Amino acid sequence: MSARLPSSVPILVIGAGVHGLSTAWHLARAGEPPLLLDKTGIGAGASGIACGVIRNNYFQPAMSELMAACVEVWESDPAQLHYHGSGYIALGPPAQESDLIAVHERQQRIGYPSELCLGEEEVAAHMRSLYGDWRATGLTVCLHERAGGYAFNQESMLGLAAKARHAGARIETGVEVTGFDLDDAGAVATVRTSAGEIAAGQVVVAAGPWIPSLWAMLDLPDRIDVRQPDGHVQSDLPMWTYWYLQEGEIAFDPARFVTEDGRSSAVLHVDSDQPLRDDAGRLITREPWGVYFKPDRHSVQGGAQPLRLGHAIDVDPYPTGTVEPGFPDMWCAALSHCLGRFQGARPRYRQVRSGGAGAFTVDNFPVFDYMRPNVFVAADSNHGYKMIAVGREIARVLGGEHSSLLHPFRFERFATGDLHPVSHSPYPWS
Ligand SMILES: Cc1cc2nc3c(=O)[nH]c(=O)nc-3n(C[C@H](O)[C@H](O)[C@H](O)COP(=O)(O)OP(=O)(O)OC[C@H]3O[C@@H](n4cnc5c(N)ncnc54)[C@H](O)[C@@H]3O)c2cc1C
């Protein structure tokens, strides 16, 4: 049972995931401690289940610049944020060379530490210098980000909540926002909750995969027109699409998933066009495949291709902990394809509470914007565990400043055609 809530607050934040917690922390630090409400608990949504990969491998300039700022925040307190700055390595076949070259060039320009290897021999040599048992073939491009890495999902959210509380924010869990009353100007006057009504001066909505329901409560459109950069308008597109991210793990001592110098491994992301076989030589697929994996608390964790779920799904209870029947074979075969130490890992696969659903926007990029005169929405299109600096920027915007990092993610882009460039990646997250 939560303590009695105030009838009125200057700032109300909805959602105790990375964006709500980071916003609350930064608002409190700026002397504007908000009330944060979550219907379930801290890290109860996508932030508490995320693989925890923190990378800057984005083809879009605006994403890349925002990620660089996010890594700075992660690096500011690795202990309390449970952050491991072991880096991130993306490897790909010839089809991905141009994208990764462009990403690397931009990272050089913005001072993000990374190196690029091109050609199968150079890539293999780089990987073997890090991992003596590296054995993947056919990879001709490698982007090695020396910053970033991973953090432990639930622990990092608890750490963020502790920081927010320490700075003066009030966090109440078990309180659900059920509706909004709008005034004549379209601003939110009152927030309706399961614990009563609260008048709020400003509201921040950071509801993760639940954003479509909050969006509807704010009476925002569930279908929109999108102007493409060439001027062509695509009409009446659904604002939200759900994808399911398949993830699992193998029981494997993370102390053995280290580089030659004994350091914890970087996150590895491998996209390949090579035939994939299991340890017995049986063909898994001749189609291009992609996986990512990283050390976890007691295991090696990662995932692969997401599944498209559609425009409306039931998010309660939150969908997690399942994969397609072929996923474990494919993911374990891919790990073994890359590193000899994972040979024979398939029997050690286990389907834990990992993987989950995300709500993607109509162009698969975040919307960070005022959607009502006093309601700022953080809808990260499932890019966002790593995006811990978004809350810092939201706090600035609520304080009256302009955020050049958030500006490219305004809702208006769908009407103006000021969209983000699209990469050659088959996935909606690159
Ligand atoms: C399986 C999976 C793996 C991922 N891996 C990564 C990764 O490795 N790296 C990365 O950067 N991103 C990753 N992501 C994406 C990332 O997890 C999300 O983009 C991010 O966590 C969203 O944060 P959030 O704060 O918006 O929402 P959430 O963390 O989902 O938090 C939203 C909160 O809002 C609360 N809420 C919802 N509705 C209401 C209401 N009506 N009233 C009150 N409270 C409400 C919920 O209880 C929840 O706690 C992954 C996502 C998934 C699903």
Instruction: Specify the long-range contacts of residues 222-227, CB closer than 8 Å, at least 24 apart.
Output: 224/362, 224/414, 225/414, 225/415, 226/362, 226/363, 226/414, 226/419, 227/414, 227/415, 227/416, 227/417
| The predicted structure's pLDDT at residue 265 | 98
Query: Is residue 88, in this structure, part of any structural domain at all?
Result: no
Terminal alpha carbon distance of the chain:
42
Check if 85 has its Cβ closer than 6 Å to any atom of ligand 1: no
Identify the residue whose C-alpha is closest to ligand 1 atom 35: 15
- The reported pLDDT for the residue numbered 1 is 47
Q: Whose CA is nearest to atom 9 of ligand 1?
A: 53
Binding site membership of 9 for ligand 1 (Cβ less than 6 Å) = no
DSSP state of 50: S
Domain around 418? 1-82+150-236+365-430
Distances (CA, A) of 18 to 55, 132, 163, 312, 384: 16, 36, 12, 23, 8
Largest CA distance in the chain: 68
Residue 36: CB within 6 Å of ligand 1? no
Tell whether 271 is covered by a domain. no
Which residue out of 37, 385, 392, 409 has the highest number of ligand 1 atoms within 8 Å of its CB and is therefore the one to mutate? 385
CB 245 near ligand 1, within 6 Å? yes
Q: Closest ligand 1 atom to the C-alpha of 380?
A: 19
Atom 3 of ligand 1, residue of closest alpha carbon: 50
The closest-lying atom of ligand 1 relative to the alpha carbon of residue 382 is 19
Measured CA to CA, the distance from residue 15 to residue 171 in angstroms comes to 10
Does residue 336 fall inside a structural domain?
A: no
C-alpha 217 – ligand 1 centre gap (Å)? 19
Which pLDDT score, from 0 to 100, does residue 280 have?
A: 97
The reply to whether 280 falls in a domain is no
Residue 424 lies in a domain: yes
CA pair distance 125, 128, nearest whole angstrom:
5
Q: Is the CB of residue 149 below 6 angstroms from any atom belonging to ligand 1?
A: no
Ligand 1, atom 50, residue with closest C-alpha:
50
Q: What is the pLDDT of residue 54?
A: 97
Residue 247 Cα distances to 153, 289, 363, 380, angstroms: 14, 15, 24, 20
> What SS3 class is residue 412?
coil
Amino acid at the residue 312: A
Nearest atom within ligand 1 for CA of residue 20: 25
Res 430: pLDDT? 67
Residue nearest to atom 27 of ligand 1 (CA): 208
What spacing in Å lies between the alpha carbon of 104 and ligand 1's midpoint? 28
CA dihedral angle for residue 24, residue 46, residue 218, residue 374, rounded to 10 degrees: 20
Question: Is there an atom of ligand 1 within 6 Å of 49 CB?
Answer: yes
Residue 279 belongs to some domain of the structure: no
Name the residue at shortest CA distance from atom 26 of ligand 1. 208
In a domain, 90, yes or no: no
Q: Using DSSP, state whether 421 is helix, strand or coil.
A: coil
Which atom belonging to ligand 1 lies closest to the Cα atom of 214? Answer: 41
Gyration radius of the chain's alpha carbons: 22
CB 65 within 8 A of CB 175: no
Whole-angstrom Cα distance, residue 200 to residue 291? Answer: 44
Cα(93) to ligand 1 centroid in Å equals 31
In a domain, 422, yes or no: yes
Q: What is the DSSP string of 79-90?
A: HHHTEE---EEE
CATH number for the domain including 395?
3.50.50.60
DSSP string, 341-372: GGTT-GGGEE--S--EEEEE-TTSS-EEEEEE
**Ligand 1 atom nearest to CA at 157:** 29
Nearest CA to ligand 1 atom 22: 208
Domain count, the chain: 1
10-residue averages of pLDDT along the chain (430 residues): 84 98 98 98 97 94 96 98 98 95 95 97 98 98 98 98 98 98 98 98 98 98 95 96 95 97 97 97 96 96 91 90 93 98 97 91 97 98 96 98 98 96 71
